[in-house]
Amino acid sequence: MKGVVILGSTGSIGQQTLDVIQAFPQVLRVVGLAAGNNLELLVSQARRFQPQAVSCLGPFEECASLFPPGTTFTSLEELATHPEADIVMVATTGKAGLQPTLAALQVGKAVALANKEVIVMAGELVTAWARRFGTPLLPVDSEPSAIWQCLQGDKNPIRRILLTASGGPFRTWTPEAVAKATPEDALNHPTWRMGKKITVDSATLMNKAFEVTEIHWLFDVPWQKIEVVVHPQSIVHSMVEFADGSVKAQMSPPDMRLPIQYALLHPSRLPNESLPRLDLTTPSALTFEPMDATRFPCFNLAREVGERGGTYPAALCGADEVAVELFLQHGIGFADIHRVLEQVVERHESVAHPGLEEILAADAWARDQVRELAKGV
Ligand code: MG
């Protein structure tokens, strides 16, 4: 039995993680659940899965009676280091997952990382801690998971990573139309149903640049060996090319429960009848095309920032979180997201090889900058 803690259990990945756990009652059990403000769903999850401990924002005293008797209320960090946890699913969004991730790594709890901002903000620090404490850091994001799966049983050096991108909702839109896109347009992703922040990041292709950064740190692959390929069907989740020219791909219908299940159960692959199956015996087409990065300036900005390192990525992540929030509230336009982020990056004074304090300071500084800049938009 593996004890699982889910940070962000009421979000899209959190709910799908519970679906996976429910499919394997002999193998997986819920030890702890943490949510933000969706108390109603957290209570119903707690009643169903009977975790020992829960965490949520807001006053616990007022809601304690809603949870099953004996449930402990605790902080994210304590949940991430719970004595009965074997694996911590970090499915929070933005910077919320950073400190719990470090806490879990420090005490040897395997971290399944769905919250990619954690590794974008603090890739050097997080991977150094995973190495230092010998703790597994497991990808959950479908593309890094695909690469991880392609690398199983293969110790050969990687020649190139082909990171696939659906292209998001604006793949075929003109630049003029994209500039005027509304939150509703941006939230209409063609292949994936996800939380709002990541869906907007997928429309700007910021998400794809974050994945480049994630892959760089998780698999120690040089930046120039990571190439993005547009694959609108989201069936091939990424590919690895080896020295002899052989390319391995991982394919499956776009459903996050598969990479979640792999992170929780690897190296085992157990049958899960509720997962969709890929059927290539019926007429179907898998297409690939180069990405036109000039149409998605956030991609180039974030990729460059990832490569520059220091506290630039933390500043960009913090700034992006606020900019996306403002866009969703109709406070700024779609094209303003890039405009604002570029200015924040220009103004930022980066610290090389930052520790946690410097990373959090850069994040806080950048958030203030965006709020200030947005007033002038
Ligand atoms: Mg992804």
Alpha helices in 38-154 (DSSP H): 39-49, 60-63, 76-80, 98-106, 116-132, 142-150
- What does DSSP say about strands 289-290 and 226-230: parallel, antiparallel, or unpaired? antiparallel
- Please, are residues 85 and 5 in contact by the beta-carbon 8 Å criterion? yes
195-243 pLDDT tens trace: 899 999 999 999 999 999 999 999 999 999 999 999 999 999 999 999 9
In sequence order, the 6+-apart residues with CB closer than 8 A to the CB of 174 are: none
Judged against a pLDDT cut of 80, whether residue 61 lies above it is answered with no
Torsion angle of the four alpha carbons 149, 240, 192, 294, in this order, in degrees rounded to the nearest 10 = 160
Q: How far is the CA of 150 from the centre of ligand 1 (A)?
A: 16
Q: How far is the CA of 182 from the centre of ligand 1 (A)?
A: 22
In sequence order, the 6+-apart residues with CB closer than 8 A to the CB of 14 are: 6, 7, 8, 33, 35, 89, 91
Instruction: Give Cα 165 to chain centroid, integer Å.
Output: 14
**Mean pLDDT throughout 114-139?**
97
**Mean pLDDT throughout 339-360?**
98
Q: What is the pTM of this model?
A: 0.95
Q: How far is the CA of 58 from the centre of ligand 1 (A)?
A: 31
Kindly state the DSSP code that residue 157 receives in the 8-state scheme: P
- Please, are residues 256 and 234 in contact by the beta-carbon 8 Å criterion? no
Q: How far is the CA of 143 from the centre of ligand 1 (A)?
A: 5
- What does DSSP say about strands 110-113 and 87-90: parallel, antiparallel, or unpaired? parallel
Q: How far is the CA of 289 from the centre of ligand 1 (A)?
A: 18
Q: How far is the CA of 146 from the centre of ligand 1 (A)?
A: 10
92-119 pLDDT tens trace: 988 899 999 999 999 999 999 999 999 9
